[in-house]
């Protein structure tokens, strides 16, 4: 993959179209000026056209020169891909008219639309949803006219477009539409995420507004306000977001003097302006702690006590036992990640886009699958596995979303058709192993303990 990576980097460097676009715009401006001149004085049209010939040819030559480097990078990238994946027939499971992707187009399209919203590409998401909706309507109309099955076809079209209801009204909301009182959406029906229809984009616009303030401007005000508004929900989830943001605010006030204070509204006592600069920060941090820390859950008492104890060392904080609380280089990035995670969790969404997770996991597994395909091709073997991969594909811990049960008797991984079953004694084995073990018997003995039971007493385990 090194050659592909190198070709990709070269393409990123040489694929800059800004100069070509500027030259094209210059050519358009020149053509427009000539058109205006001809419209103003049609009698000398021939003269204007003669003057346009040489600049027009020169402009096209310049644009071709601009695109040479881009085409060169594309050719090298294409050559690297062909050299890497030549004679490699990748698995086609799920692809085609009978594949999963063809049967679940609604889920695939919704994943793409949600990914675009989560990445802040609101205009692209609106265009994508609108075009998908138009394509579905045209397909339903064509099927109705050709097959004369009005009732069945309309119902099927409505079912396939059900995911579009989650995005209803998105095209009427702009990327900067995070203002307003939102009264128009108060009575709107609820979608699958629990939001009013048409509010998905507004919610993510609010999230990006807060993230921009938190990550780029180091402004904690929007994030703290959001955490306070959802304090009950966050506490029920056991989230520490409100405390983490409050701690970061305490550190910010502690280490910021009055002279370089970014926001005058943070002053809790106007009389503190007359304090010495060396103590103005700790005093404002103390006032903030008195106002905020008592409202935090009791489980944070130890951390808040450490923050308050650091005030005793304010003249020499660098040599105090609490210096590590004030020199965390990753604090802002960690707060941004925690806010994103909790924001998506309250919407019933994963922290990362499912489309991003699936594509990344597929990219990690691709070399292993490619090697398996080469071996099967050389040995003339066949990929007979339908619902599982023929080899184990190791993924990073961040891509492990649930435990995997392997039957201790058959040594096979459990599936939906062969789920884990727990016996009354507490031991678990696969359903097929249980059926084989209890075949022809009224009672079955547990393979790992002396206890006996009937096969119908086993209960399925959901992992």
- How confident is the model over 211-229, as pLDDT tens digits? 889 888 888 999 999 999 9
Residue 436 lies in a domain: yes
* The total number of structural domains that make up the chain: 2
CA distance linking residue 250 with residue 405, whole number of Å: 46
In a domain, 182, yes or no: no
- Does 13 map to a domain? yes
The mean of the pLDDT values for the chain is: 76
- Choosing from 51, 83, 115, the residue where a domain stops is 83
Residue 366 belongs to a domain: no
Torsion of CA 227, 232, 237, 239, to 10 degrees: 30
**pLDDT score for 225:** 92
Q: Which of 52, 83, 114 is the last residue of a domain?
A: 83
Flag whether pLDDT at 132 surpasses 60.
yes
Q: Which of 60-64, 165-169, 188-192 has the lowest mean pLDDT?
A: 188-192
Cβ atoms 154, 140 nearer than 8 A: yes
DSSP for residue 94 = T
Query: Which of 76-80, 158-162, 378-382, 396-400 comes out lowest in average pLDDT?
Result: 158-162
> Considering the domain boundaries, does residue 35 fall inside one?
yes
Residue where a domain stops, chosen among 83, 102, 128: 83
**Paired tokens of 369:** 């699958």
233-288 confidence digits (pLDDT tens)? 888 888 889 999 999 999 888 888 654 444 544 444 444 444 456 678 888 889 99
Q: In this structure, is residue 158 part of a structural domain?
A: no
What's the CATH code of the domain at 446?
3.30.40.10
Please report which confidence band the pLDDT of residue 176 belongs to, taking 50, 70 and 90 as the band edges.
Answer: very low
Question: And the tokens for 290?
Answer: 């008195």
pTM score: 0.56
Q: What is the pLDDT of residue 181?
A: 39
The residues pairing with 428 across neighbouring beta strands, listed in sequence order, are: 422
Query: Higher pLDDT residue, 354 or 148?
Result: 354
3 state SS of 190: strand
- Which pLDDT does position 106 carry in this prediction? 78
Rounded Cα distance between 159 and 106, Å, is: 9
Residue 397: pLDDT over 70: yes
Whether 194 shows a pLDDT value over 60: the answer reads no
Q: Note the pLDDT tens digit of each residue in 86-131.
A: 554 444 555 555 556 667 777 888 888 888 888 888 888 888 888 8
What mean pLDDT do residues 349-357 have?
85
Stretch 293-297: mean pLDDT: 88
In a domain, 177, yes or no: no
- Per the domain annotation, does 381 fall within a domain? no
What domain range is 415 assigned to?
Answer: 403-463
């Amino acid at each position: 993959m090194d050659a592909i990576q190198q070709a990709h980097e070269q393409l990123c460097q040489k694929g800059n179209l800004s100069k070509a676009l500027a030259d094209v715009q210059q050519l358009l401006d020149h053509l427009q000026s000539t058109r205006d001149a001809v419209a103003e004085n049609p009698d000398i049209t021939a003269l204007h056209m003669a003057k346009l010939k040489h600049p027009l040819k020169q402009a096209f030559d310049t644009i071709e020169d601009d695109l040479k480097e881009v085409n060169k990078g594309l050719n090298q990238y294409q050559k690297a891909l062909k050299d890497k994946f030549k004679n490699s027939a990748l698995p086609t499971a799920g692809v085609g008219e009978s594949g999963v992707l063809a049967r679940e187009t609604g889920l695939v399209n919704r994943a793409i639309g949600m990914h675009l919203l989560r990445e802040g590409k609101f205009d692209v998401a609106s265009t994508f949803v609108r075009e998908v909706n138009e394509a579905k309507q045209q397909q339903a109309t064509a099927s109705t006219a050709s097959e004369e099955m009005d009732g069945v076809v309309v119902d099927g079209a409505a079912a396939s477009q059900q995911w579009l209801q989650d995005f209803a009204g998105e095209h009427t909301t702009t990327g900067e539409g995070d203002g307003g009182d939102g009264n128009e959406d108060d009575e709107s029906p609820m979608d699958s995420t629990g939001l009013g229809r048409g509010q998905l984009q507004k919610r993510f616009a609010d999230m990006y507004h807060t993230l921009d303030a938190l990550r780029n401007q180091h402004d904690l005000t929007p994030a703290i306000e959001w955490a306070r508004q959802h304090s009950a929900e966050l506490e029920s989830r056991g989230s520490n977001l409100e405390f983490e943001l409050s701690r970061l605010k305490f550190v910010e006030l502690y280490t910021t003097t009055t002279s370089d204070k970014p926001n005058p509204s943070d002053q809790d006592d106007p009389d503190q302006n007359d304090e010495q600069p060396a103590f103005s920060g700790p005093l404002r941090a103390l006032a903030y702690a008195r106002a905020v820390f008592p409202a935090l859950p009791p489980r944070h008492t130890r951390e808040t006590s450490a923050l308050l104890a650091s005030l005793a060392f304010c003249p020499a904080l660098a040599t105090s036992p609490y210096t590590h609380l004030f020199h965390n280089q990753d604090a802002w990035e960690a707060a941004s990640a925690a806010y994103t995670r909790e924001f998506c969790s309250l919407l019933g969404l994963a922290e990362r886009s499912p489309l991003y997770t699936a594509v990344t996991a597929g990219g990690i597994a691709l070399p292993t699958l490619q090697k398996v395909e080469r071996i099967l091709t050389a040995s003339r073997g066949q990929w007979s596995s339908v619902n599982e991969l023929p080899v184990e594909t190791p993924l990073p811990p961040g891509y492990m979303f649930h435990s995997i049960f392997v039957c201790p008797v058959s040594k096979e991984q459990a599936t939906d058709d062969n789920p884990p079953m727990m016996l009354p004694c507490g031991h678990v084995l696969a359903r097929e192993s249980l059926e084989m073990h209890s075949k022809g018997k009224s009672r079955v003995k547990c393979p790992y303990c002396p206890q006996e039971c009937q096969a119908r007493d086993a209960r399925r385990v959901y992992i």
